[in-house]
Amino acid sequence: MDLQLANAALALDQDILQNRLLLQTEEDRRRRTGERTPRTMFCRDWFLRREEFSQYHQLMEELRREDVDLVDRLSPRIKKKDTWFQKALPPGLKVTVTLRHLATGDSYHSLMYSFTVAHNTISYMVKEVCEAIVAEYSKEVLNIPTDPDAWRSASELFNTRWQFPHAVGALDGKHVAIKKKKKGESMYFNYKRYHSIVLMALVDADYKFMWVNVGSPGSCSDAQIWNDCDLREHIFTDRIGWPQPDPLPHDDTDTPYYIIGDEAFALRTWLMKPFSRRHMDHEERIFNYRLSRARRVVENAFGILANCFSCLLTTLRHNPSTVESIVLACVCLHNVMRILYPQEQNGLIDNNSQGG
């Protein structure tokens, strides 16, 4: 009997050893081929109690009943089907988590405990919703004028609000800080000594973005980005209905319409910049003051944008392509709010932090 027990124990030990060798061999094979290890669990149990403890199903449910237009419009783009393994996340939850991240800049781990959604799932969710926002709203709220009458209307608004006639928009760039890559890509390192991508924008007199260019590395200057952009090419080739010169108020000499820029841009008949600060006379100082006063709308627009979406005030820990989607989504939502709630947005102008 003792001999039989000893043989059985020896056989069991041999089976355990053989299984361990098989597992080690399989793990080595996966490591060599780069194959992912199968999941030991699909979802943690506390994530399954989302409807009981998540903020979305408690406080956010009340807020969602008041304004569901955004969720309704984005649902066809982000809604998924249920599978045998799990139920798909509701589109409202995806939109809520994304907006919380954009508005506060909270990390994915912080949002995970607030909404009981895994942080790696949130990383995919934020990019998906931002791309859906851009696809749904960009053509509707980011419209560059294409006929002379629309450009003249933009110029009249500048003249009415800022007493600067024939200006159709203010142009400038803003650096959005991003996390340094592991390999340390120097092209994203800007003159302010941090890594960033550049948001270049043309803004009208009502603080709405007319045209944006996002994604250029932080090492690029504003003039370099402008010289390579499509809007400059369209103005040169007259593809966007640039208005013909006509007289200024109380004048009889034809004057071109123009975009307002700072010293970084080259002077053109369609791009106005201030006089050099050296050896200015009294009239040139008055002109520079008026131009800076009108050009401030683009700085204020950047400040309002960052005030509403605090993620832009932080160092975004995403890939540059994801940061580009986030910035474009913030710009689209900014214009949507300017259109739907202009009076509420005007209250932010006096207290905004100017972008740069």
Same domain? 259 vs 218: yes
> Which residue type occupies 337?
M
> Which residue type occupies 26?
E
Say what the pLDDT of residue 91 is. 86
Same domain? 97 vs 159: no
Crossing angle for the helix pair 91-104 and 108-115, to the nearest 10 degrees:
140
Within a domain: 354:
no
Within a domain: 10:
no
Beta strands 258-260 and 271-272 are parallel
Within a domain: 30:
no
Per residue in 241-254, pLDDT (tens digit) is 899 999 988 888 89
Per residue in 170-225, pLDDT (tens digit) is 999 999 999 887 765 678 889 898 999 999 999 999 999 999 999 899 999 999 99
Q: Which helix (H) or strand (E) holds 29?
A: helix 2-33
Total domains in the fold of the chain: 2
DSSP code of residue 254: E
Same domain? 161 vs 202: yes
Within a domain: 164:
yes
- Using an 8 Å Cβ cutoff, are 148 and 156 in contact? no
Same domain? 199 vs 182: yes
CA nearest neighbour of 93 among 127, 50, 45, 136: 50
**315 in helix, strand or coil?**
coil
Alpha carbons 326 and 177: distance in angstroms, whole number: 12
Same domain? 225 vs 278: yes
Within a domain: 40:
no
Say what the pLDDT of residue 152 is. 93
Residues, the chain: 356
- Using an 8 Å Cβ cutoff, are 126 and 97 in contact? yes
Same domain? 97 vs 193: no
Same domain? 195 vs 304: yes
Same domain? 113 vs 248: no
Which residue range forms the structural domain that includes residue 146? 142-346
Same domain? 203 vs 224: yes
* 3 state SS for 164-218: CCCEEEEEEEEEEEECCCCCCCHHHECCCCCEEEEEEEEECCCCCEEEEEEEEEC
Same domain? 98 vs 170: no
Same domain? 134 vs 196: no
**Long-range contact set of residues 131-134: C-beta below 8 Å, sequence gap at least 24:** 131/325, 131/329, 132/74, 132/77, 132/78, 133/74, 133/329, 133/332, 133/333, 134/325, 134/328, 134/329, 134/332
Q: Residue with structure tokens 């290890």?
A: 37
Query: End of a domain among 122, 139, 156?
Result: 139
The structure tokens listed for 304 are 């309002």
Per residue in 66-110, pLDDT (tens digit) is 555 788 888 889 988 887 777 888 888 888 889 889 999 888 988
Within a domain: 337:
yes
Same domain? 108 vs 240: no
Per residue in 47-57, pLDDT (tens digit) is 555 555 555 55
Within a domain: 200:
yes
